[in-house]
Amino acid sequence: MKKIHCPERHDWKQTAENLGFLFHTIDGEPYWDESAYYQFTLKQIEHDLEDPTTEIHDMCMDLVARVVQSEELLERLSIPAPFFDMIKTSWLEGHPHLYGRMDFSYNGTGPAKLLELNYDTPTSLYEAAAFQWGWLEQCIERGLLPKHADQFNSIDTKLHQAFAQLQVNQPFYFASMKGSTEDKGTTDYLRLVAEKVGIESRHIDIEDIGLTSEGRFVDLQDRWIPHLFKLHAWEFIFHEPFGSAIAESDTQFFEPAWKSILSNKGILPLLWEFNKGHPNLLAAHLDTEPGKAVPKGWVRKPFFSREGANIELQTADGLIVKEDGPYTDAPFILQEFAPLPRFGDSYTLIGSWVIGDQAAGIGVREDNSLITKDSSRFLPHLILG
């Protein structure tokens, strides 16, 4: 695993904007960064990242099967009791799922360590699936990279397969919150994939979804929404006015309700509890004293934190790093600290994608802090050797 500096394509910004990748720069700072790339060997990819991703995903599916049968475990995840039956039903009926992402600390030598699961509303999808693949192809064409360079990236192909397997023959709506260019970019990409396999697809802002007196979800033209991909977390929906109408509605939701089990950090102590000592897992437990200082060598994370918010850590040397945020009233976990590898002035995180039930590719993120955030830079990668 190496970080290699390289020349940028002179026209990459225009290429990005032509393709609809409008969030390549965030608040004037680069988000997409092709001034360098990460190089892996095939063995590192297959043995250290792809295989553990598959294994951990299987463990997660086994854990969901266990949790839906246990009110005690659902309560431990702070899921509201009125939604227990809906979540259980969605699992037992096999409601299909599309995608998820695992975040790893990996330095190229030791076992990759799972930091968290993003299994409900993960973003950074388009840039991982499509734009970094385009970077690879174009750089090879222009002689900037060796012709035999490859990439661990079948995300786009597997997404096409996943949508085709749904055999949807009614309109499929893709929803994101108003005002988020990144979220809209993610749902637009998924909508395009669905269209390419013959699914009639429409965008709708989440705020514009209506509910009829008969309990049916509709768009602004009062048209029924039969299938809905919502880039909106289940833990928010559980506390919103329309949330209670979902169980009896005739809309199919993506991601399905059972994904709420895997979308909060309370799942990490359960993963450890039922798979203690697994080389790719970190010790984790419920934080019963969140008002106290974080112990050395541990990280405090709220159950429902997003984009690094409200995470606090203390290294073994006593360095304290923390991010502010709105998640102050949720339960917290403590997780063993696995430092991100440092390349120059940046700390590097590996996001490993799962499409359906298959490991499908990675994206690499960098930040000047040990805590990766939504604004952290995205760098492409390749395989050589």
Are 202 and 290 members of one domain? no
Residue 275: inside a domain: no
For the chain, percent of residues with pLDDT exceeding 70 = 99
Classify the C-alpha dihedral 115-119-121-127 as positive or negative: positive
Residue 121: inside a domain: yes
Are 251 and 307 members of one domain? no
Are 258 and 162 members of one domain? yes
pLDDT for the residue numbered 343: 95
Are 346 and 363 members of one domain? yes
Q: Is 271 exposed, middle or buried (0-12, 13-18, 19+ CB in 10 A)?
A: buried
Residue 254: inside a domain: yes
294 contacts 370 by C-beta, under 8 angstroms: no
Count structural domains, the chain.
2
Residue 269: inside a domain: no
Are 154 and 41 members of one domain? yes
What is the pLDDT confidence band of residue 64, given thresholds at 50, 70 and 90?
Answer: very high
pLDDT for the residue numbered 385: 83
Are 108 and 254 members of one domain? yes
**Each residue of 85-136: pLDDT tens digit?**
999 999 999 999 999 999 999 999 989 999 999 999 999 999 999 999 999 9
pLDDT(327) > 70: no
Residue 8: inside a domain: yes
**Each residue of 269-325: pLDDT tens digit?**
999 999 999 999 999 999 999 889 999 999 999 998 777 778 999 999 999 988 887
378 contacts 123 by C-beta, under 8 angstroms: no
Q: Which domain holds residue 291?
A: 283-336
346 contacts 367 by C-beta, under 8 angstroms: yes
272 contacts 247 by C-beta, under 8 angstroms: no
Are 154 and 287 members of one domain? no
A 10 A CB-CB count for 376 gives 24
Structure tokens at 241: 């006015």
Residue 274: inside a domain: no
337 contacts 321 by C-beta, under 8 angstroms: no
Are 164 and 306 members of one domain? no
The helix/strand/coil state of 268 is helix
Are 204 and 289 members of one domain? no
Are 301 and 375 members of one domain? no
**Each residue of 201-254: pLDDT tens digit?**
999 999 999 999 999 999 999 999 999 999 999 999 999 999 999 999 999 999
Rounded to 10 deg, the angle between the 267-274 and 51-67 helix axes is: 100
Are 107 and 80 members of one domain? yes
What is the pLDDT confidence band of residue 360, given thresholds at 50, 70 and 90?
Answer: very high
Are 57 and 13 members of one domain? yes
Q: What is the mean pLDDT of residues 350-370?
A: 96
Structure tokens at 284: 């984790």
CA distance 270 to 63: 8
301 has which bridge partners? 333
